[in-house]
Amino acid sequence: MDFNNLLYEVADNIATIKINRPKALNALNAETVNELYSAIRSAGFDDDVHAVIITGEGNRSFVAGADIKELATNGPIEGKDFAVRGQRIFNAISMLKKPVIAAINGFALGGGCELAMACHIRYAHTSAKFGQPEVGLGIIPGYGGTQRLPRLIGMGLALELLISGEIISAQRAYELGLVNAVFDSWVVDDNGEPVLNEKGRKTMDVEGFLAEVKKKLSVILSHGPVVVRFALEAARRGASCSLDEGQRIEADLFGLACTTDDFKEGTSAFIEKRKAEFKGK
């Protein structure tokens, strides 16, 4: 698929979506957000795609937020429309029936942090930086950040980040539960020593980082897409209703799982002491 601001590729049942505006640190302008929606819909409809990775092009930034130059021209009507549209698109990501992984390779600020939070799982490079700095621009988060951050890390910590605009490290994000894991992969020379750039800083090994993310994802993919989908659906739909209703959703999907070939295969493989071969049926 061809986009102006995204790179989209499918390999080994994984669709990788790269936000591709490195000169603007992959900031999200309206066109990019619209393209992201098309890419997510394509991944959702493509039976060859069992999982999605969202990342940023280059080794500096995942997404440094909404495009501030474009944002600056908004009046109240456009601002609200822009926020609502972005929220819908990010909701489409979080409601996708396939796992969506944010591979955070640098700045995840403002709309970038919100994009990462809309994904199901977040893996970060150790040099990544997170924050909701919108208050410093005279706005607040508009792509779900005020809602998803408290749900992920708790109200007190979320409020502190939302109203201070503080930028935190990947390690701190991991401690807060904002990211699932942190990977430490740097470009090294023949002696295994990190290669330093002109500013004397280590250079992120982007391919190495994505390989670590894919290694994690391969464990998820080994379970077959149907039960993964059911588990995602039970947890996500349950999150917006009462415990009773959520458990009913869980029981319904549990019953449905019991009708699948993968259920027969998984239980037989256990009993026969062999590795299960799931077909996703």
Active-site residue list = 114, 134
Residues 49, 68, 168, 249: which binds ligand CO8 (CB under 6 A)?
68
Q: Applying CB under 6 A, does 144 fall inside the site for ligand CO8? A: no
Distance (Å, rounded) from C-alpha 12 to C-alpha 147? 34
- Dihedral sign, Cα of residue 95, residue 208, residue 226, residue 179: negative
Q: Applying CB under 6 A, does 27 fall inside the site for ligand CO8? A: yes
Min separation Cβ 139 and ligand CO8, Å: 6
Contact (Cβ atoms closer than 8 angstroms) between residue 105 and residue 145: no
For ligand CO8, the binding residues in 78-137 under the rule CB under 6 A are 79, 82-83, 86, 107, 109-111, 133-134, 137
Q: Applying CB under 6 A, does 24 fall inside the site for ligand CO8? A: yes
Q: Applying CB under 6 A, does 173 fall inside the site for ligand CO8? A: no
Q: How many residues bind ligand CO8 (CB under 6 A)?
A: 23
- Dihedral sign, Cα of residue 30, residue 35, residue 36, residue 41: positive
Q: 248-278 as b/e, with b when 16 or more CB fall inside 10 Å?
A: ebbeebeeebeebebbebbeeeeeeeeebeb
Give me 154's structure tokens.
């708790």
Q: Report the amino acid identity of residue 88.
A: R
Q: Which is nearer to ligand CO8, 110 or 224 (CB)?
A: 110
> DSSP label at 129?
E
- Only segment of 5-13, 60-68, 242-250, 260-268 that touches ligand CO8 (CB under 6 A): 60-68
User: Where along the sequence are the contacts to ligand CO8 (CB under 6 A)?
Assistant: 24-25, 27, 64-69, 79, 82-83, 86, 107, 109-111, 133-134, 137, 141-143
